[in-house]
Amino acid sequence: MDFFNQLDLLASLDETTSAEQDVPQKVGLALWQERGVLRPIDRQWIEQLARHAGEDHYPLLLAGALCSAFLGAGHICIDLAKIWKKPPEGITAGQLQTELAQCNVLSLTSWCQALSSSALIATSTDGSVPEGAECPMVLAGTRLYLYRYFQYEQQVLVYLQRQSNAEPFEPDATLIEQLFPEKSAEVNWQKVAVANAASLPFSVISGGPGTGKTTTVTKLLALLVAQSAAQGKPLRIELAAPTGKAAARLTESISNAKADLPLSHEIKQAIPEQASTLHRLLGSDFGRSRFKHHKENPLHLDVLLVDEVSMVDLPMMAKLIDAMPPHARLILLGDKDQLASVEAGSVLGDVSLGIETAYFQPDWAARLTQLTAENVSQFANPAAPPISRALTLLRKSYRFDANSGIGKLAKSMNSGDVKGVLSCLQANYHDVHWHVPEEGQTKPNIAALAKGYDAYWEAVRQKQDIASLYKVFSSYQVLTAVRQGEFGVELVNKHIEHYFYQRGRVPDPHVWYPGKAVMITRNDAGLGLFNGDIGLCMPDESQRLRVWFMQSDGSFTGLLPSRLSEFEVVFAMTVHKSQGSEFERVSLLLPMTPSPVLTRELIYTGITRARQEFSLWGAASLVMAAAQTRIERNSGLPEELWSHA
């Protein structure tokens, strides 16, 4: 049995195994499970491991079970120091410390010592694990990891530290000037981003919606292409994104941005437009957990650009880094304030943690000033850590003008400015609408939410071609915060579909019909479909119903509905699933009662999916609470990257 993988273990657990068998400390863990902190799998995992190892010390069982539970909630590790002071909700610090004291663990230090002496835990002092220490868990300081996740984090950390301390390249300042001829009193952060990213083999360009991430990176690619063309060394550039939809958007926006470049046809031609998903790039073999490309079989490229990096989880980032050839450049684009990846980790957030205020080390700021003729030196900060060299934040949105509410609302929500959020919602902006639920309302206003699809049904009625239909469908989206309940995506979808049925648009909601819109919920390599891909059902030339999916080159493939196995109707989708997509108009539906998923990041992500019009359906109290709630994910990256200046 592979104890290193929680999922392997889950699959191999005998369902009849009693979690309580032979484990003397069952009362303690049972209590934590009863309070909702642990899942059955967390207990089973650690209890079985402990039995195999002949260990039964409660402080070990508790720490292991918590490590597993926290991983399930998206954390890379647990921090015993935090848990010691403030255990998860449902258990008080007093209860925890009393329980541990009964096992002679009287302080945080003695808890860590007890764990270090377990055969199940390797202790790491310098980021490495002692040779031959084949333990399922690793303790680094007060952070406890599952071994595999510790390895992923180390892989990413070592790469980031090496790349941000690399000997800088010398970008061509004349070319940079040519790409950014306009002058302004303010610092042009796009120009700085290009100079910065061209200087190192790893870079992150982060920015909110419409801050010009694609425009900037296209200029960066142009600079790299022009420089290497001058040296007679053509570059192999690849573009990728975490989902098919995000890849299709990247393809489209790079192609648009290229058209406006003040450069020769040859240079433009050398910049690719075609983006693929990360899974496809790495050579996904769906039956196996390892990708085709890795350290021993690296990707064949010189430059890799990855968009929508907020959606990339830690294991994927580690595998991507593992597959990078040593000489290649990695450029990451994303909005650090968006929701983190569905799976464990928040790599973009962790890497760019202090980006707002850290700016650059003085020598680096001076170098950027010289390269760009922008006054970057005013942002010199002797306390900035080495990673800050690799990061640039685009600070100005070109999409939202001074009269637009979406930009202001997004900004207020992002900074947790409750007053600002409420005043934006109440200010009658032409692009922001707020629908406060009525006292005692128990169901969402389905008719109002569904109205946004009128243009789509008209296009279906006119049997417009699939490309036009797709465009109309993508212009509006209902987003929900939660999955379950009357305000959750499942019932909202059902009610919207039933509403269309009552209006005669849907002949029978239980079968396939022209206009049915679905989202794939599981990767299917055989069909070339990825989790999150959207398909629209329409007849083909011989009047057979097919479900049409957009490919990353913008073409469409029609599949027989019977070939699809895992999908759901998508007249509404969760905010989580909407990451990587944008719509002209968005209706965001909040539940009626407080929920832990209502966070600043979730609402910010919902708002920033809308390009032209954003409607919020939710109570002020929930919006205010969300603005003050941040998602926190434990990982060692922030401390390792940001606390050693």
Ligand X SMILES: Nc1ncnc2c1ncn2[C@@H]1O[C@H](COP(=O)(O)OP(=O)(O)OP(=O)(O)O)[C@@H](O)[C@H]1O
Q: Which of residues 163 and 211 has its CB atom nearest to ligand X in the complex?
A: 211
Q: Which of residues 396 and 435 has its CB atom nearest to ligand X in the complex?
A: 396
Q: How far is the CB of 17 from ligand X (least distance, A)?
A: 48
**Binding-residue pattern over the window 111 to 150 for ligand X, x denoting contact by CB under 6 A:** ----------------------------------------
Does position 64 interact with ligand X (CB under 6 A)? The reply is no
Q: How far is the CB of 352 from ligand X (least distance, A)?
A: 15
CA distance 587 to 612: 12
Is 90 labelled as part of a ligand binding site?
Answer: no
Angle at 347 between CA 344 and CA 350, to 5 degrees: 115
Write out the two tokens for 135: 């333990």
Q: Which stretch binds ligand X (CB under 6 A): 21-29, 206-214, 376-384, 541-549?
A: 206-214
Name the strand (E) or helix (H) holding 191. Answer: helix 189-199
Q: Which stretch binds ligand X (CB under 6 A): 212-220, 228-236, 268-276, 517-525?
A: 212-220
Q: Which of residues 257 and 518 has its CB atom nearest to ligand X in the complex?
A: 257
Q: Which stretch binds ligand X (CB under 6 A): 208-216, 228-236, 348-356, 445-453?
A: 208-216
Q: How far is the CB of 135 from ligand X (least distance, A)?
A: 42
Q: How far is the CB of 260 from ligand X (least distance, A)?
A: 7
Does position 399 interact with ligand X (CB under 6 A)? The reply is yes
Angle at 445 between CA 443 and CA 450, to 5 degrees: 130
Is 212 labelled as part of a ligand binding site?
Answer: yes
Whether residue 492 contacts residue 449, with contact meaning beta carbons closer than 8 Å, is answered with: yes
Is 357 labelled as part of a ligand binding site?
Answer: no
Q: Which stretch binds ligand X (CB under 6 A): 203-211, 520-528, 554-562, 583-591?
A: 203-211
Cα dist from 201 to 166, 196, 303, 313, 535, whole Å: 8, 10, 9, 21, 38
Contact with ligand X (CB under 6 A): which of 87, 210, 515, 535?
210
Edge to edge, the sheet with strand 391-394 lists 275-277, 237-241, 303-306, 329-334, 202-207, 391-394
Q: How far is the CB of 407 from ligand X (least distance, A)?
A: 11
Write out the two tokens for 325: 């050839």
Contact with ligand X (CB under 6 A): which of 6, 142, 190, 203?
190
Report the amino acid identity of residue 370.
Q
Helix, strand, coil shares, percent, the chain, to 5: 45, 15, 40
Q: How far is the CB of 525 from ligand X (least distance, A)?
A: 28
Q: How far is the CB of 608 from ligand X (least distance, A)?
A: 7
Is 210 labelled as part of a ligand binding site?
Answer: yes
Does position 214 interact with ligand X (CB under 6 A)? The reply is yes
Q: Which of residues 323 and 355 has its CB atom nearest to ligand X in the complex?
A: 355
How many residues lie near ligand X (CB under 6 A)?
Answer: 14
| Nearest CA among 538, 495, 496 for reference residue 515 | 538
Q: Which of residues 142 and 214 has its CB atom nearest to ligand X in the complex?
A: 214
Does position 244 interact with ligand X (CB under 6 A)? The reply is no
Q: Which of residues 136 and 212 has its CB atom nearest to ligand X in the complex?
A: 212
DSSP notation for 104-164: T--SHHHHHHHHHTSTTEEEESSS---TT---SEEEETTEEEEHHHHHHHHHHHHHHHHHH
* Residues sharing a CB contact under 8 Å with residue 328, sequence separation 6 or more, in sequence order: 201, 299, 301, 302, 303, 304
Is 207 labelled as part of a ligand binding site?
Answer: yes
Q: How far is the CB of 219 from ligand X (least distance, A)?
A: 9
Backbone angles phi, psi at 335, to 5 degrees: -110, 110
Whether residue 23 contacts residue 47, with contact meaning beta carbons closer than 8 Å, is answered with: yes
Rounded to a whole number of angstroms, the distance between the first and last alpha carbons of the chain is 42
* Residues sharing a CB contact under 8 Å with residue 483, sequence separation 6 or more, in sequence order: 489, 490, 574
Q: Which of residues 54 and 181 has its CB atom nearest to ligand X in the complex?
A: 181
Q: How far is the CB of 465 from ligand X (least distance, A)?
A: 25
What's the longest Cα–Cα distance across the chain?
76
CA distance 510 to 505: 13
Contact with ligand X (CB under 6 A): which of 28, 136, 171, 212?
212
Which residue's beta carbon is nearest to the bound ligand X? 212
Write out the two tokens for 35: 């309070």
Q: How far is the CB of 212 from ligand X (least distance, A)?
A: 3
Beta strand pairing status for 534-539 and 143-146?
unpaired
Angle at 68 between CA 62 and CA 71, to 5 degrees: 135
Does position 215 interact with ligand X (CB under 6 A)? The reply is yes
CA distance 574 to 590: 10
Q: Which stretch binds ligand X (CB under 6 A): 211-219, 265-273, 466-474, 543-551?
A: 211-219
Does position 629 interact with ligand X (CB under 6 A)? The reply is no
Q: Which of residues 224 and 246 has its CB atom nearest to ligand X in the complex?
A: 246
**Residue 427 neighbours by CB distance under 10 Å:** 12
Edge to edge, the sheet with strand 121-124 lists 77-79, 143-146, 137-140, 121-124
Q: Which stretch binds ligand X (CB under 6 A): 210-218, 539-547, 596-604, 624-632?
A: 210-218
Q: Which of residues 142 and 190 has its CB atom nearest to ligand X in the complex?
A: 190
Report the amino acid identity of residue 303.
V
Q: Which stretch binds ligand X (CB under 6 A): 213-221, 310-318, 400-408, 441-449?
A: 213-221
Contact with ligand X (CB under 6 A): which of 209, 488, 580, 591?
209
Is 214 labelled as part of a ligand binding site?
Answer: yes
Edge to edge, the sheet with strand 545-550 lists 556-559, 545-550, 534-539, 517-520, 567-569
Whether residue 392 contacts residue 191, with contact meaning beta carbons closer than 8 Å, is answered with: no
Which of the 8 DSSP states describes residue 630? -
Does position 334 interact with ligand X (CB under 6 A)? The reply is no
Does position 211 interact with ligand X (CB under 6 A)? The reply is yes
**Binding-residue pattern over the window 571 to 590 for ligand X, x denoting contact by CB under 6 A:** -----------x--------
Q: How far is the CB of 238 from ligand X (least distance, A)?
A: 18
- Segment 251-270, which members bind ligand X (CB under 6 A)? 253, 257
Is 211 labelled as part of a ligand binding site?
Answer: yes
Does position 177 interact with ligand X (CB under 6 A)? The reply is no
Contact with ligand X (CB under 6 A): which of 89, 98, 383, 398?
398
Q: Which of residues 323 and 610 has its CB atom nearest to ligand X in the complex?
A: 610
CA distance 277 to 374: 36
Q: Which of residues 309 and 390 has its CB atom nearest to ligand X in the complex?
A: 309
Q: Which residues are annotated as a binding site for ATP?
A: 207-214
Interacting residues with ligand X (CB under 6 A):
190, 207, 209-215, 253, 257, 398-399, 582
**Binding site per annotation, positions:** 207-214
